[in-house]
Amino acid sequence: MLGLMQDQPLAISSLIEFAARHHHDGQIVSRRVEGDIHRYTYREAAARSRQVAAALDRLGLAFSERVATLAWNGYRHFELYFGIAGSGRVVHTLNPRLAPEQLVWIANHAEDRVIAFDLSFLLLIKAVWRQCPTVKHWIALCEPGALPSDSGIDGLQSYEAWIAGQSDTYAWPVFDEKSAAILCYTSGTTGNPKGALYSHRSTLLHAWAVALPDAISLSARDSILPVVPMFHVNAWGIPFAAAMTGARLVFPGAALDGKSVYELLESERVTMAAGVPTVWLMLLNHVKQNGLKFTHMRRTLIGGSACPPAMIKSFRDDYDVTVLHGWGMTEMSPVGTVCNLKLAQLALEPDAQLAILAKQGRALFGVEMRIVGPDGRELPWDGQASGDLHVRGPWIVSGYFRGEGGDPLVDGWFPTGDVASIDADGFLQITDRSKDVIKSGGEWISSIDIENVAVAHPAVAMAACIALPHPKWGERPLLVVVKKPGAEVSRDDLLHFYTGKVAQWQVPDDVVFVETIPLGATGKMQKNKLREQFKGHRLPG
């Protein structure tokens, strides 16, 4: 027997309509690519989202066709999210940090019909547009007057002209809540990029989950700045959760340097911000070097890669900002865990709390986790046992777009490729990516642990630990280090710095200093490239 409740499919359009009706004057602030600050309200955002939807209807785009964006965090990108998905098409967010040939591969695989891009990516678009035969419409996110006359791109039009003639009263279509809404590609280190295809249902359930007090905690009293890009896993779902709760949104555009982000945090009285460790490092350095403080920001969500404990401690002890360490992946919409203390832990000493806050945190309700050993058997949640992390739940992929990569599930679970432990309180700690673990003499060394020690050294800006083959131990760790500008540290000093911080057999065998460590399109260190680069490096002893 079914219940007798109204049969309302969950729909992304309902988020922006709710925000328009209940938070009509709620502000959305954007630092534009043009350089100035743009302000408007949820009511205006909704009206323009409806114009986007009407403009797509006018182009004759069918249900589920892909409309791609290549854009920074800003109000036009926000409108596109709702206009595209709300009208039944699929938002495909392209990552501008990809190489042109990767971009072409992905646009063709997705069979994008439209690509809307920030003018700052004009050169990139000029380089690729002829190789994207499925794309029939190129739209530059600007006023008509800013449109370059000599772009050479057939039929290029400005976003403002494109939507200008459309009505802002639009009847959003009603359809199956499991319909495709958003397509995000993830580029593994091997094989082709693979597309995670979110639905309206998964997007709304995820939005509820991330807005909860133990996740991001979003309300109509918050002002949130997502530094994490909307071109990468929907800025962790913040645009949707903000519309759901009426939180004030502050978009940083392209200016992600420490100074620009800091100024926006202060001038817009931001209470909560979210980003990856590398961006937050730039912010912290700026604040430290200039003797500044955070007037309004009290919480920041940091994820995308492991946040060094030293950063969490500095935010807390020096700036009274609570770091919420998070973990997730493109295949998880993307948030899986956020680190927030439990009731009994509020009474712990600051150091003991810090040890907990350095973990990736607790699963959101809706995400089931397990860790399994090499034999596939589940391991205990004791904070010690470390194994392959599997997840399942309604906002986790069952497969990839167009079947790429085959069926990823194992007994109904998605294998994350992470190695992790989980403690008795359910706090997840990512030990490593399974492909980055260093297997020395039958024991595992976590490359993340070794890197966390290195970046706590005052002279180290960035560090990567990789495995090199070793005749006796199988593999041994090599530490690759970028020094801070003007700072000095020797190989021996750095190795000595490990004393008492990790077991002696885990200390790297050698250190090499480099100018830069290659980063991927999502800001993660590309250790596969380092392994290639140093494959001939000879370890001492």
d(C-alpha 75, C-alpha 45), whole Å:
7
d(C-alpha 410, C-alpha 302), whole Å:
29
The token pair that represents 148 in the structure block: 């370059």
Considering only 398, 411, 490, 535, the residue that binds a second copy (CB under 8 A) is 398
Peptide bond into 334 cis (omega under 30): yes
Per-position DSSP letters for 133-157, written without gaps between them? TT--EEEESS-GGGS-TT---TT-E
- Whether 439 sits among the annotated catalytic residues: the reply is yes
C-beta of 55: minimal distance to a second copy in Å?
21
C-beta of 144: minimal distance to a second copy in Å?
33
Considering only 72, 414, 497, 498, the residue that binds a second copy (CB under 8 A) is 414
Considering only 78, 162, 231, 400, the residue that binds a second copy (CB under 8 A) is 400
Size of the site for a second copy (CB under 8 A): 76
Q: Which of 331, 337, 359, 527 is catalytic?
A: 331
Q: Are 113 and 101 in contact (CB under 8 A)?
A: no
Judged by CB under 8 A, does residue 45 bind a second copy?
no
Whichever of 130 and 296 has its CB closer to a second copy, that residue is 296
Residues 73-112 that bind a second copy (CB under 8 A): 90
C-beta of 405: minimal distance to a second copy in Å?
11
C-beta of 180: minimal distance to a second copy in Å?
4
C-beta of 493: minimal distance to a second copy in Å?
42
d(C-alpha 502, C-alpha 498), whole Å:
6
Judged by CB under 8 A, does residue 64 bind a second copy?
yes
Site string for a second copy, 120-159 (x = CB under 8 A): ----------------------------------------
Whichever of 10 and 372 has its CB closer to a second copy, that residue is 10
C-beta of 40: minimal distance to a second copy in Å?
16
Considering only 39, 290, 365, 411, the residue that binds a second copy (CB under 8 A) is 365
- Whether 169 sits among the annotated catalytic residues: the reply is no
Judged by CB under 8 A, does residue 395 bind a second copy?
yes
Count CA within 13 A, CB hemisphere, residue 375. 3
Contact segment (CB under 8 A) with a second copy among 101-109, 179-187, 305-313, 452-460 equals 179-187
Cβ contacts of residue 138 below 8 Å, gap of 6+?
A: 114, 115, 117, 125, 129, 153, 154, 155, 156, 157
The token pair that represents 132 in the structure block: 């994207």
Considering only 73, 245, 360, 440, the residue that binds a second copy (CB under 8 A) is 245
Per-position DSSP letters for 39-94, written without gaps between them? EEEHHHHHHHHHHHHHHHHHHTPPTT-EEEEE--BSHHHHHHHHHHHHTT-EEEE-
Judged by CB under 8 A, does residue 268 bind a second copy?
no
Judged by CB under 8 A, does residue 184 bind a second copy?
no
C-beta of 290: minimal distance to a second copy in Å?
28
Residue 336's closest CA among 378, 365, 305? 365
d(C-alpha 184, C-alpha 179), whole Å:
15
d(C-alpha 153, C-alpha 132), whole Å:
12
d(C-alpha 488, C-alpha 457), whole Å:
11
- Whether 72 sits among the annotated catalytic residues: the reply is no
Considering only 234, 305, 322, 340, the residue that binds a second copy (CB under 8 A) is 340
Whichever of 267 and 490 has its CB closer to a second copy, that residue is 267
- Whether 444 sits among the annotated catalytic residues: the reply is yes
Site string for a second copy, 194-223 (x = CB under 8 A): --xxxxxxx--x--xx-xxxx--xxxxxxx
Contact segment (CB under 8 A) with a second copy among 2-10, 279-287, 294-302, 445-453 equals 2-10
Considering only 362, 390, 457, 476, the residue that binds a second copy (CB under 8 A) is 362
Whichever of 255 and 409 has its CB closer to a second copy, that residue is 409
Considering only 343, 375, 406, 486, the residue that binds a second copy (CB under 8 A) is 343
The token pair that represents 119 in the structure block: 């003018």
| Strand 248-251, strand 510-513: pairing | unpaired
Judged by CB under 8 A, does residue 347 bind a second copy?
no
Whichever of 284 and 371 has its CB closer to a second copy, that residue is 371
> Which ranges of 192-331 would DSSP assign to H, the alpha helix?
200-211, 238-245, 258-267, 277-289, 309-319
User: Quick one: CA torsion of 69, 75, 79, 81, rounded to 10 degrees?
Assistant: 50
Q: Which residues of 351-384 are buried (b: 16+ CB within 10 A; e: fewer)?
A: eeebebbbbbbbbbebbebbbbeeeeeebebeee
C-beta of 317: minimal distance to a second copy in Å?
21
Q: Are 113 and 136 in contact (CB under 8 A)?
A: yes
Judged by CB under 8 A, does residue 325 bind a second copy?
no
Number of residues that this document lists for the chain: 541
Q: Which residue has the tokens 């979003």?
A: 218
Q: Are 231 and 69 in contact (CB under 8 A)?
A: yes
Q: Which of 178, 288, 439, 535 is catalytic?
A: 439
C-beta of 36: minimal distance to a second copy in Å?
23
Q: Which of 189, 263, 313, 444 is catalytic?
A: 444
Question: Would you please indicate which residues are annotated as catalytic (active-site) residues?
Answer: 186, 331, 439, 444
